[in-house]
Amino acid sequence: MLKKLLYFFPKKSLIFCLLTCGVVLALCLSLKFTDPKKLPLSYAKTDRLSEIKKTLAKAHAFSKVEKGDSAYFYFNKTQLLCEPKEDYADYYVESLNHMAEILQRQGDYYKVETILVKALPYLDKTTNVKYAVNTYTFMAYNYDITYDNEKALYYHRKALKKAFSTFRKSRIISEIAFVYVQEGKYQEAVDLLEPIAWLNIEDKITPSNTGFQRSAKLYNLGLSYLYLGNHKKEAFDCFTESLKVALTLNDDYELITSYYALYKYYEKYNNPKLKKINIEKAYYYAKKSNSKSYAVSMLGCLIEADNAANSKKNFKIYSRMLDSLIVSRKKAKNQFADIIYNSQKDKDENLELKNHKAENELKLQRQKNRSYISYIVISISIISLIFIFFYITIKGKKERNNEVFKNEMRISEKLQFELEKDIDKILLFTENYDLEKEENKEKLLSHLNNIYLKTRNISRENSEIATDENFEKALKEMISGYTNQNINIIINGLHTFSWCKIARVKKITVFRVLQEIFDQMKTLNNASLASITFKKEEKNILIMYSDNGNEISSKNIVLEKRLQNVENRIKTIKGTLNFGTYSESGFKISFKFPI
């Protein structure tokens, strides 16, 4: 049935129909399996405000007693509960800000940036600008710590634009000035701080922050004077006033920077005694406040400021503290990693996991759709391959049958052309002569022998060619078969190289080409002597034919047409055919092909 259809339809029509069916099917599938990303993701809108407030209160409680790991856990839990985020933007952004602050203390600045970026799209949804100001400020701190001053200034300025109270603006200006100090722009820092540093600007929302901020402003202005130079008195006044304010705050952590500032002052103005006293106090308060990083830094400065004996003893302590700090930071990092991981696995209380579940379901649906499409595409491909296989197979059989038919017709024509006259002669001879006579019998046998020789030659021309180690022998026999009482053929160089290294297809081509040349020369030429020479030239085989015939010059056009098949055969093995000159002394032809 398939064969009948293949014969009925033209080849181009079949291929066009197949492609058209494939395209139509693909379009249908693309319409059916719509991209699931367009499907709306629905959330159960329940009031979580009470639960959010309770969780946030727990987070703040742990933060006050400096239990950062527990505080982080509940801040993280709070932001996960704030879904949809637009409805609880204040709590969402506040939780992220506190998480960023805790992570900054732990030194995980990459995670801080990741968290704060999550808050940026919801800053305009908050009801109080303080959330936006805090987010921008923490982002600026992060870039400041990682020495990206340009981005630090960018976010400080964004925070300054958002800030509305005088206190917050002065605090942000102080931070901008501190970035300028790090950049070496001391005069710009002085210009910013001089108008506000000595003012007691009160924080009306959180009054306890007033003293902290005034101490920080004086500290930054003092550093600017110190590094700017020629402001010895101004720097000293700023540092002493900053220390005076810090002593009233009852905060050991603030006293570290105050005494460190005086250490830097006496270091610059060469007072070793006071330099050592102030760095000892800074180291003392660093230990008292349990700030390991500050303790290591202050002890390093103390080793430099102290005498050799004490420095040697302190260096051993410094080495132990530094190793301990590295280990504790690794533990803290691992602990926070566990907290984050565990909080994400809390399926009962974590709405984010429900969102992930919904997204996963969508991904699974998307994958199913892709799988369906893949199955159909694979099926179409397999069917197409089967179709092409059968098509090529049947086409090959048809072409082989046509080739067999052509060969049969060619052999039939050759038999008719070669034997028709001889058979007619025999028939006439048998009719006109008495076969009982001995001489007539001899003539009849001679005619029959001629017919036998011609049919044998035709048979050889179309028989299978030996391409194994017997090829040389078969080739020699074929050439010798053209030798008769009228023509002698000389063979040169047949054994000068190994035919075993030449490909089977090339050997068959050589055999048929020579056969064709001898057939044509036998028909068109009257040569009595011919030679065939084989040569190996580097990576090529050169075969030259020449004879002493003198009739070919009048038939050169006919010969070139008849040898067109020879030239085509040689081209298939990347060879070239060269016709020699036609002259009275004979004819030459040669061909060359790569080994």
> Which DSSP string corresponds to 5-25?
HHHHS-HHHHHHHHHHHHHHH
Is 567:577 a contact under the CB 8 Å cutoff? Answer: yes
d(CA 342, CA 340): 6
- Res 44: pLDDT: 47
Instruction: Report the largest interatomic distance among the alpha carbons of the chain, rounded to a whole angstrom.
Output: 156
Strands 587-594 and 540-547, by their bridges, are antiparallel
Tokens 């952004």 sit at which residue?
93
Three-point CA angle 442, 447, 451, nearest 5°: 145
- Res 362: pLDDT: 79
Question: Using one digit for the tens of pLDDT, what is the confidence trace for 35-74?
Answer: 444 444 444 456 789 999 999 999 999 988 878 888 999 9
Helix (H) or strand (E) holding 378: helix 351-432
CB atoms within 10 A of CB 83: 19
d(CA 542, CA 50): 99
CA distances from 501 to 186, 254, 467 (A): 86, 92, 11
Tokens of 348: 């009962």
Is 226:268 a contact under the CB 8 Å cutoff? Answer: yes
CA distances from 42 to 83, 283, 344, 345, 477 (A): 11, 56, 20, 21, 90
Tokens 């003392």 sit at which residue?
284
- Report the Cα–Cα distance between both ends of the chain, in Å, rounded: 47
Entry field: residues in the chain: 595
> Which DSSP string corresponds to 473-505?
HHHHHHHHTT--SS-EEEEESTTSS-GGGS-HH
Is 6:13 a contact under the CB 8 Å cutoff? Answer: no
- Res 9: pLDDT: 46
Specify which residues 532 forms β-bridges with: 491, 545
Percent of the chain as helix, strand, coil, to the nearest 5: 75, 5, 20
> Which DSSP string corresponds to 326-339?
HHHHHHHHHHHHHH
Q: Is 321 helix (H, G, I), strand (E, B) or coil?
A: helix
Say what angle helices 11-32 and 351-432 make with each other, to 10 degrees.
170
The alpha carbon of 301 is separated from its chain's Cα centroid by a whole number of angstroms, namely 50
Is 237:215 a contact under the CB 8 Å cutoff? Answer: no
For residue 373, give the amino acid letter. Answer: I
Domains of the chain: 49-164 (1.25.40.10), 186-250 (no CATH), 251-345 (1.25.40), 373-463 (no CATH), 465-594 (3.30.565.10)
- Res 588: pLDDT: 86
Task: Please tell me whether the overall predicted TM-score, pTM, comes out greater than 0.75 for this model.
Answer: no
d(CA 116, CA 133): 12
CA atoms within 13 A on the CB side of 132: 17
Helix (H) or strand (E) holding 590: strand 587-594
Is 249:211 a contact under the CB 8 Å cutoff? Answer: yes
Nearest CA to 213 among 195, 192, 199, 227?
A: 199
d(CA 464, CA 454): 18
Tokens of 180: 């300028």
With a cut of 50, which residues of the chain have pLDDT below it? 1-9, 31-44, 336, 341, 347-351
